[in-house]
């Protein structure tokens, strides 16, 4: 019995060492890319907005020290697209909320993406995805997707093509975070951002072809809109006085009785049954102002901005469901490197409207898509 405990302790230490090494090398690569490329780790194509966020008056979730009923925050919201600098591509869309009107500091940041399940769900699958992405994307994704059918499904579920407006899509954290209410009970929580009057239909949702070929991300061949069409539309909406209205919601779940057991549902690849764990309204969000390009570039969103009562669960290995957030926390050094790069090399230019520009990137074609 004692020998078994010693062996398990050694295995636990070994797994943590591997997680630390993977985190170090991934962070080092991302820092180098951010510093010399003057780019974000992902979601380079985005626009920064400002408005207000108000916690609902009569929350149905357990009383919480931070989410006080009626409490209001000036907030920043960044809508962005992953991987490519073209609004008309088939890409994952995002919404990141900062509970403050500031570039960096905030009591709470929440980062969300479109879709219910992701392309990767722990540090191991993220590293595998990162390797194929570095080769040129497109057809290079296929071996990874073949090896992980769940990732192929997640890619098709998460992408959106040609949305009319960002306030017509749904965004989710997918990962589970901690929630400690005033009742002293520790729970897991997931967040999502939905349009205020959501009818269940998202703008830009993939058709059957896009869903099953999500790595073929180029705009349609007859696409006439420029590569900044969505950001231009957002700016026009704000100038015309339109207000984007959302509901920030949360989904709560009790942890398993045994802390040593990590159930399958902790993985961000597994949605929680909404009939058993319904989303509850957390806050009303109103967005009415677009901020300029430089302010957008200088603002970052960091999940380490959170109160103690909303902790980020610790990861134990590269296969731990929490290891993805472990990597995200370490990415703060890449954010700092990007801001340093602006000081060293200057602010990068805005994206050109033209797809003939040098920075536009196409997806390598596939002769026989699997």
Per-residue pLDDT reduced to its tens digit, 289-334: 999 999 999 999 999 999 999 999 999 999 999 999 999 999 899 9
pLDDT at 83: 82
Task: Flag whether 264 is in a domain.
Answer: yes
Q: Is residue 212 part of a domain?
A: yes
Domain-located, residue 3: no
Say if 251 falls within a structural domain: yes
Q: Which residues pair with 245 in a beta bridge?
A: 286
Which tokens hold the place of 262? 């990590």
Q: How many CA atoms lie within 13 A of 20 on its CB side?
A: 6
Which CATH number fits the domain that encloses residue 90?
Answer: 2.40.180.10
pLDDT of residue 368: 46
Single out the residue of 129, 155, 289, 263 nearest to residue 217, CA to CA. 155
Q: Residue 246: how many CB atoms within 10 A of its CB?
A: 25
Which structural domain range is residue 196 located in? 43-329
Contacts of 146-155 with C-beta under 8 Å, sequence gap 24+, read 146/370, 150/117, 150/121, 150/269, 151/119, 151/120, 151/125, 152/214, 153/117, 154/115, 154/117, 154/118, 154/119, 154/120, 154/121, 154/269, 155/119, 155/214, 155/215
Cβ burial of 79 (10 Å; 0-12, 13-18, 19+) is: buried
* Residue 369 pLDDT: 45
Rounded to whole angstroms, how far apart are CA atoms 322 and 1? 29
Query: For residue 363, what are its two tokens?
Result: 């997806």
Low-confidence ranges of the chain (pLDDT < 50): 368-370
Q: What is the pLDDT of residue 10?
A: 75
What pLDDT is recorded for position 242?
Answer: 97
How far, CA to CA in Å, does 195 sit from each of 170, 202, 281, 285, 287?
A: 7, 9, 12, 9, 12
What is the token pair recorded at 243? 């207000």
Q: Domain for residue 80, yes or no?
A: yes
Residue of 326, 32, 84 whose CA lies nearest to 217: 84
What gap in Å lies between CA 112 and CA 170, rounded to an integer?
9
Q: Please report the pLDDT score of residue 361 as a whole number.
A: 84
Q: Indicate the number of domains in the chain.
A: 1
Q: Which residue, among 47, 51, 111, has the nearest Cα to 75 in the 3D structure?
A: 51
Q: Specify if 237 maps to a domain.
A: yes
User: Which pLDDT belongs to residue 273?
Assistant: 96
The predicted-structure confidence for 231-279, as pLDDT tens digits, reads as follows 999 999 999 999 999 999 999 999 988 767 789 999 999 999 999 999 9
Residue 223 counted as domain residue: yes
Asked if residue 112 is part of any domain, the answer here is yes
**Residues 6 or more apart whose Cβ sits within 8 Å of residue 220:** 88
């Amino acid at each position: 019995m004692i020998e078994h405990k010693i062996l398990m302790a050694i295995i636990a230490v070994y797994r943590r060492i591997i997680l630390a090494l993977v985190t170090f090398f991934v962070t080092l690569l991302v820092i180098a890319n951010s510093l010399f490329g003057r780019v974000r780790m992902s979601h380079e194509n985005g626009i920064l907005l400002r408005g207000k966020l108000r916690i609902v008056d009569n929350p149905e979730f357990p009383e919480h020290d931070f989410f006080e009923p009626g409490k209001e925050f000036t907030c920043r919201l960044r809508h962005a697209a992953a991987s490519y600098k073209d609004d008309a591509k088939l890409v994952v869309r995002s919404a990141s909320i900062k509970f403050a009107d500031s570039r960096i500091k905030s009591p709470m940041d929440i980062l969300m993406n479109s879709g219910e399940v992701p392309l990767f769900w722990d540090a191991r699958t993220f590293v595998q995805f990162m390797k194929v992405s570095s080769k040129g994307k497109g057809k290079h994704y296929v071996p990874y997707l073949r090896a992980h059918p769940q990732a192929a499904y997640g890619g098709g579920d998460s992408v959106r093509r040609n949305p009319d407006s960002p306030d017509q899509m749904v965004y989710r954290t997918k990962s589970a975070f901690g929630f400690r209410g005033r009742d002293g009970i520790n729970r897991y929580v997931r967040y999502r951002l939905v349009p205020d009057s959501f009818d269940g239909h998202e703008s830009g949702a993939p058709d059957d072809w896009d869903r099953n070929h999500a790595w073929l991300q180029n705009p349609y061949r007859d696409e006439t809109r420029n590569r900044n069409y969505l950001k231009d539309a957002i700016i026009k909406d704000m100038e015309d006085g339109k207000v984007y209205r959302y509901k920030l919601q949360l989904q709560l779940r009790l942890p398993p009785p045994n802390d040593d057991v990590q159930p399958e549902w902790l993985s961000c690849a597994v949605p929680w049954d909404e009939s058993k764990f319904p989303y509850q309204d957390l806050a009303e969000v109103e967005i009415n102002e677009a901020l300029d390009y430089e302010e957008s570039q200088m603002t970052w969103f960091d999940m380490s901005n959170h109160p103690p009562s909303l902790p980020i669960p610790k990861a134990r290995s590269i296969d731990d469901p929490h290891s993805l957030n472990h990597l995200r926390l370490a990415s703060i050094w890449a954010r700092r490197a990007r801001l340093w790069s602006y000081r060293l090399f200057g602010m990068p230019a805005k994206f050109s409207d033209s797809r003939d520009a040098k920075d536009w990137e196409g997806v390598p074609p596939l002769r026989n898509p699997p």
